Amino acid sequence: RKEKAKAERSPDRLRSPICCVLGHVDTGKTSLLDKIRRTNVQGGEAGGITQQIGATYFPMSRLRTQTDKINKDLLLDYKIPGLLVVDTPGHESFSNLRTRGSNLCDIAVLVVDIMHGLEPQTLESLQLLRRSKTPFVVALNKVDRIYGWEPHKFSPLRDTLAKQKSYSVSEFETRTRSTIAAFQEQGLNAALYYENDDFKRTVSLVPTSAITGEGIPDLLMLITQLTQQMMGHRIMFTPWVQCSVLEVKAIDGLGTTIDVCLTNGEIHEGDEIVVCGMNGAIVTTVRALLTPPPEREIRVKADYQRNKVVTAAMGIKISANDLEKAVAGTQLLVVHPDDEIEDLKAEVQRDLESIMGGFATDTTGVHVQASTLGSLEALLEYLRSIKPPVPVASVAIGPVHRRDVMQCAAMLERAPEYAIMLCFDVKVTPEAEAEAVSAGVRFFTADIIYHLTDAFERHLAEAKALKRADAASEVAFPAVLKIVDVFNMKSPIVVGVQVEEGALRKGTPVCCTVGLKADGTTPLVLELGRVTSIQRNHTDVDKVGPEDPPVAIKIEGDPSLANITYGRHFDKKNKIYSRLTRRRIDLLKAEFRDDLSREEWICVKKLKGVLGIE
């Protein structure tokens, strides 16, 4: 199938490239997309842009209203039919636009705020782009914020720059230079696009403003030029359909539909299609190929336009039977007369199986739910990579329903700290929310993987702190003390001690050994009580170690220990030990492993012997 698709590519016919927008928060990604969309609407010509499902399609006629402003000099031959721009910017939509390890995005715009330079998510975006080998250009946005900048709406950058005062030009140049230097630090050559004579090795910077539209003609021109020059092969049209399911949605009057991105080929009403399903492959027939009507806001509810045929690249809503269990983030295949349906079914299920099969569910663990197979995979990978890894007991794709919550609630009895649903980029139905409240299951929802995992890590830290606080009242830290002075013989016992091993903390229960039990081997332990104060020169201290000078400690116990007297039951010849027990050692290991030094662990081992702990 892939081979055939390759063979039938034609250099004379290109498909529309697909463009994504990435960058740090607040750099102006959304504004830039809005501005690009409005730019074209403002032209007001007939047959305008079609705002598609999850992506906006710009036919070439539309792009030209901007790019012609620059092409006067460039005289570029326009070969692509248009440009499909993905509507939701950011890492996640970029990662979701993946099937079978390949990225649907042909070219990306990395947005950088010219006033801020490279920021943390800029670097994350850079990593994503490098890993997926996606070519990109940098929009150096917010040029209008440069001091004294005089806006010229939708002007090509060099035209507006020529009209700026010298101090604005000078600030522009300084900021551009420092961004170029920052890219260099990341091992990347960058240059203003009109000074870039090596597109293959040097990334182009396009100064833009999402407010004034300046530089937008340049940005669109550059994308057109780069896709035509550098990826001719990748964007050659082939009649073989390449298509990915982006979202599964129930729509009033249509039932369950799938929003897809058609990356190559042509899809027709009535085509037989094969789609990956949660419970096995789905074979169905395209009832309607829907696109929103032209010139309408994508998010406004509107009647869809029906198409007999749609050509790549395009975002389409497909209406067909039996799509309820379709899995977002997988590929869609169109059946040809000589295809074996069983082969196609196996092919669409392969990704799901490799992800589900590659992940052995733990018996105790959290529930993970994500919008697409790709985001589920990313989240599972992440949970596996953090230390300690987060155990996962169950997974699902798509909106959270009541039954998902009920499944997770089963964890309440086994491991309540894991009765948690990590939901990434998914909707939660009201019934599911109500069920969670009544059952006591906690939700962590977020649209950004980092936010989700940050919140979850905070929860784990809190759960750990609670456990530690509980354990702290019960635990005993190891110490061996030598009595060097006596201030009060009984209730409370106050003695001067030198810590010989371990470290003494306030609150530690202590004891002595006074010979052996009748069996002649088990030590006879004399409980003394707890260390309720530690003082040096009449000042309180919380913790002392062997390197510290002696301290005075007060030991108090419950009334049964009131008669324990220094000189009668124990004296200077006895060492005072932390009162370790099997349970306390277990708590130390479980909750305080990293708090104890190597010497303290050696002391634990010694006390086990001294106190006869199995």
Site for ligand GDP, rule CB under 6 A: 23, 25-31, 89, 141-142, 144-145, 209-211
Shortest distance (Å) from residue 423 CB to ligand GDP: 22
If you ran DSSP here, which 8-state letter would residue 271 be given? Answer: -
If you ran DSSP here, which 8-state letter would residue 561 be given? Answer: G
CA nearest to 182, candidates 237, 236, 120, 106: 120
Shortest distance (Å) from residue 55 CB to ligand GDP: 16
Q: Which is nearer to ligand GDP, 87 or 259 (CB)?
A: 87
Q: Which is nearer to ligand GDP, 210 or 428 (CB)?
A: 210
Kindly state the helix (H) or strand (E) to which residue 300 belongs, with its residue range.
none
Q: Which is nearer to ligand GDP, 145 or 287 (CB)?
A: 145
Shortest distance (Å) from residue 111 CB to ligand GDP: 6
Q: Which is nearer to ligand GDP, 142 or 175 (CB)?
A: 142
Measure the CA–CA gap between 240 and 311, rounded to whole angstroms.
11
The tokens of 495 are what? 């003695």
Phi, psi of 93 (to 5 degrees): -65, -30
Q: Which is nearer to ligand GDP, 98 or 142 (CB)?
A: 142
Shortest distance (Å) from residue 147 CB to ligand GDP: 12
Shortest distance (Å) from residue 204 CB to ligand GDP: 18
Shortest distance (Å) from residue 472 CB to ligand GDP: 43
Q: Which is nearer to ligand GDP, 82 or 213 (CB)?
A: 213
Place of tokens 């919550």: 405
Q: Which is nearer to ligand GDP, 19 or 323 (CB)?
A: 19
365-382 as b/e: b if 16+ CB within 10 A: bbbbbbbbbbbbbbbbeb
CB 393 within 8 A of CB 361: yes
CB 210 within 8 A of CB 142: yes
Shortest distance (Å) from residue 29 CB to ligand GDP: 3
Q: Which is nearer to ligand GDP, 70 or 216 (CB)?
A: 216
If you ran DSSP here, which 8-state letter would residue 560 be given? Answer: G
Kindly state the helix (H) or strand (E) to which residue 365 belongs, with its residue range.
none
Q: Which amino acid is at 444?
A: F
Residues with Cβ < 8 Å from 123, sequence gap 6 or more? 186
What one-character-per-residue DSSP string does 221-256 give? HHHHHHHHHH-TTTTEE-SS-EEEEEEEEEETTTEE
3-state secondary structure of 444: strand
Which conformational region is residue 301 in: left (phi greater than 0), alpha (psi within -120 to 50 degrees), or beta?
beta
3-state secondary structure of 494: strand
Residue nearest to ligand GDP (CB): 28
Measure the CA–CA gap between 233 and 241, rounded to whole angstroms.
16
Q: Which is nearer to ligand GDP, 142 or 367 (CB)?
A: 142
Shortest distance (Å) from residue 89 CB to ligand GDP: 6
Measure the CA–CA gap between 182 and 542, rounded to whole angstroms.
48
Shortest distance (Å) from residue 378 CB to ligand GDP: 21
Measure the CA–CA gap between 96 and 246, rounded to whole angstroms.
7
Shortest distance (Å) from residue 27 CB to ligand GDP: 4
CB 533 within 8 A of CB 553: yes
Measure the CA–CA gap between 275 and 270, rounded to whole angstroms.
15
Q: Which is nearer to ligand GDP, 111 or 576 (CB)?
A: 111
Helices (H), 43-165: 60-74, 91-96, 120-131, 157-162
Q: Which is nearer to ligand GDP, 210 or 366 (CB)?
A: 210
Q: Which is nearer to ligand GDP, 87 or 501 (CB)?
A: 87
CB 261 within 8 A of CB 315: yes
Q: Which is nearer to ligand GDP, 89 or 523 (CB)?
A: 89
Shortest distance (Å) from residue 21 CB to ligand GDP: 8
From the number of C-beta atoms within 10 Å of its C-beta (0-12, 13-18, 19+), residue 84 rates as buried
Helices (H), 358-429: 373-385, 402-409, 411-414
Shortest distance (Å) from residue 445 CB to ligand GDP: 19
Q: Which is nearer to ligand GDP, 88 or 331 (CB)?
A: 88
Kindly state the helix (H) or strand (E) to which residue 42 belongs, with its residue range.
helix 29-42
Kindly state the helix (H) or strand (E) to which residue 353 belongs, with its residue range.
helix 341-357
Residues with Cβ < 8 Å from 389, sequence gap 6 or more? 383
Instruction: State the distance between the two ends of the chain, measured CA to CA, in whole angstroms.
Output: 67
Shortest distance (Å) from residue 25 CB to ligand GDP: 5
Q: Which is nearer to ligand GDP, 113 or 377 (CB)?
A: 113
Shortest distance (Å) from residue 113 CB to ligand GDP: 8
Shortest distance (Å) from residue 106 CB to ligand GDP: 21
